[in-house]
Amino acid sequence: MRPRHLVFAMTATLLLPACGEKAQEKAKEVGHTIGEKAGATWASLKEFTAAQKDKAVAFFSRSKDSLAEQFDKAKAKSADWSEDAKESLDGKWEKVQETYAKAKDATGEGWDTARDAFKEAVDAFKSELEKHDK
């Protein structure tokens, strides 16, 4: 699920008790649909061939920008984190930036490798961020 969709889903969950039953069901349905679409977008990355690289890189850029916002917010709350946790998250973020740059510059057969490396770096960063951003 994309970060802003996750925020929407979490916000909706917090507001649901104040809504009527029909509104609650609709909100859950919309949240589920958003999650499915976001997951489907990431899952469909394999379909982006080198010829469609521009579309994928645009998606990567939006994803990276969203993650950067999350990272900034997490850093603001990181006073209680250990130095190891901070270094681990910084390292994972550097990997996201590095693999994004490689994906942006990739051509031909190198595109598949760069695309997959970016996805893996984003997943690793998100996982690390979730550990500490509670």
- At 21-78, the pLDDT tens digits run 665 566 556 554 554 555 555 556 556 666 788 888 999 999 999 999 998 988 888 8
d(CA 96, CA 80): 24
R_g (Cα) of the chain, nearest Å: 17
Number of structural domains (the chain) is 2
Span 77-81, average pLDDT: 82
Pair (37, 61) in one structural domain: no
In this structure, the answer to whether residues 60 and 71 fall within a common structural domain is yes
62: amino acid identity, one letter: R
Q: What is the DSSP letter of 19?
A: S
38 shares its domain with 63: no
Which residues constitute the domain of residue 31? 1-47
The reply to whether 95 and 67 lie within a common domain is: yes
Same domain, 40 and 82: no
CB 87 within 8 A of CB 81: no
